[in-house]
């Protein structure tokens, strides 16, 4: 809970590549909606990004670009704290402490590690394995109440809750009892999982080798039209019910993108387009995408010419984040008996 009695929200985006429609609909659009009701911290989680090798020049640019996209999309730095994770060293310090709290068995259950490491398990970074401890540190450092999470992050938030509880128990005789609040997931009804335009069973992702699989927030109008016109479909017409979308992941994805952007239910979209050709639907979807993405792109172009402003926002965010996190880390050191 913050000083103004608003519940605190923490979330972040990795600067690991070009931000896309999935990042926007699944995360950033929701961040904007939360700003008035909560005390929000929106982080650019660069330490998470380096769990997989990043080209240093690209990483620097991507950090700046995520900050610019936050601003261009409508996150207001007067309402929310926008900052870079590595600018606040308390994140790494608390993550180390959590490395010493989390049990190996807990990390072994994390499905995202299994998916990301795949058969290459012995050769991925140990940071990828302990990533959930850093995520717990991001959240608990600010005594966060609520974390907006998609399906993919639910398990990591459960682990954060386990870490908070174990810390509170392990140090209950030393001032740790109930020290960390147990954060709750903020499940947003409208948040959606956007899938690849080339394969409806895979999520739209920054790291997909094909840029045709995603709509990037910097794509120009022609490129958006091209990507949608080439998006995978099938020879059947648009059906009249959600049930009939079963086994047609690409169609389901395009319809849910349309519905998210137009704030309508999928069955309403189906009613409008049932029996119609995909070419008509794709034209309308492109128009809708252009009307959502182009204002962000135009703001981004303005911010590219005003880098000093973005830098100032990040400097201010760093100061505010340090002020808040310093209180927690000092208490944690004291509870544990460090230093």
**Residues within the interface to ligand AQP (CB under 6 A):** 13-14, 16-17, 22-23, 25-27, 150, 152-153, 193-194, 203-207
Of residues 127 and 150, the one with the C-beta less far from ligand AQP? 150
Of residues 194 and 228, the one with the C-beta less far from ligand AQP? 194
Contact 112, 158 (CB under 8 A): no
Of residues 232 and 244, the one with the C-beta less far from ligand AQP? 232
Of residues 17 and 183, the one with the C-beta less far from ligand AQP? 17
CB of 184 to ligand AQP, least distance (A): 16
β-pairing, 81-84 vs 39-44, is: parallel
Q: State the catalytic residues.
A: 116, 203, 206
Of residues 194 and 303, the one with the C-beta less far from ligand AQP? 194
- The residue of the chain with the least Cβ separation from ligand AQP equals 26
Instruction: At 83, give phi and psi (nearest 5°).
Output: -155, 165
Contact 33, 154 (CB under 8 A): no
SS3 sequence, 143-206? CCCEEECCHHHHHHHHHHHHHHHHHHHHCHHHCCCCCCCCCEEECCCCCCCCECCCCCCCECCC
CB of 274 to ligand AQP, least distance (A): 25
CB of 13 to ligand AQP, least distance (A): 4
Of residues 28 and 303, the one with the C-beta less far from ligand AQP? 28
CB of 336 to ligand AQP, least distance (A): 29
CB of 253 to ligand AQP, least distance (A): 10
CB of 150 to ligand AQP, least distance (A): 4
CB of 69 to ligand AQP, least distance (A): 11
Q: What is the rounded CA–CA span in Å between residue 185 and residue 43? A: 17
Of residues 159 and 329, the one with the C-beta less far from ligand AQP? 159
């Amino acid at each position: 809970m913050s000083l103004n009695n608003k519940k605190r929200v923490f979330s972040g985006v990795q600067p690991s590549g070009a931000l896309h429609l999935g990042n926007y609909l699944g995360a950033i659009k929701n961040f904007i909606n939360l700003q008035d009701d909560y005390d929000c911290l929106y982080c650019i989680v660069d330490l998470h990004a380096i769990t997989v090798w990043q080209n240093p020049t690209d990483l620097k640019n991507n950090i700046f670009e995520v900050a610019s996209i936050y601003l261009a999309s409508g996150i207001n730095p007067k309402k929310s704290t926008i900052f870079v994770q590595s600018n606040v060293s308390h994140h790494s310090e608390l993550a180390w402490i959590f490395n010493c709290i989390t049990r190996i068995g807990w990390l072994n259950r994390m499905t995202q590690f299994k998916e990301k490491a795949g058969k290459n398990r012995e050769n991925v970074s140990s940071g990828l394995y302990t990533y959930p401890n850093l995520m717990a540190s991001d959240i608990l450092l600010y005594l966060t109440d609520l974390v907006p999470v998609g399906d993919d992050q639910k398990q990591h938030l459960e682990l954060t809750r386990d870490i908070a509880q174990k810390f509170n128990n392990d140090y209950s005789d030393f001032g740790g009892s109930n020290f960390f609040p147990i954060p709750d997931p903020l499940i947003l009804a409208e948040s959606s999982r956007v899938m690849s335009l080339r394969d409806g069973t895979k999520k739209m992702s920054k790291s997909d080798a094909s840029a045709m699989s995603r709509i990037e927030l910097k794509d120009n109008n022609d490129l958006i039209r091209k990507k949608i016109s080439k998006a995978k479909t099938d020879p059947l017409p648009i059906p009249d019910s959600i049930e009939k979308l079963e086994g047609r992941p690409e169609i389901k994805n395009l319809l849910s993108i349309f519905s998210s952007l137009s704030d309508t239910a999928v069955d309403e979209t189906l009613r409008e387009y049932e029996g119609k050709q995909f070419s008509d639907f794709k034209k309308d979807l492109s128009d809708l995408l252009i009307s959502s993405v182009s204002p962000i792109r135009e703001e981004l172009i303005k911010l590219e010419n005003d880098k000093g402003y973005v830098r100032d926002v990040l400097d201010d965010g760093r100061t505010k984040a340090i002020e808040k996190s310093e209180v927690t880390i000092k208490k944690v050191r004291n509870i544990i008996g460090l230093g």
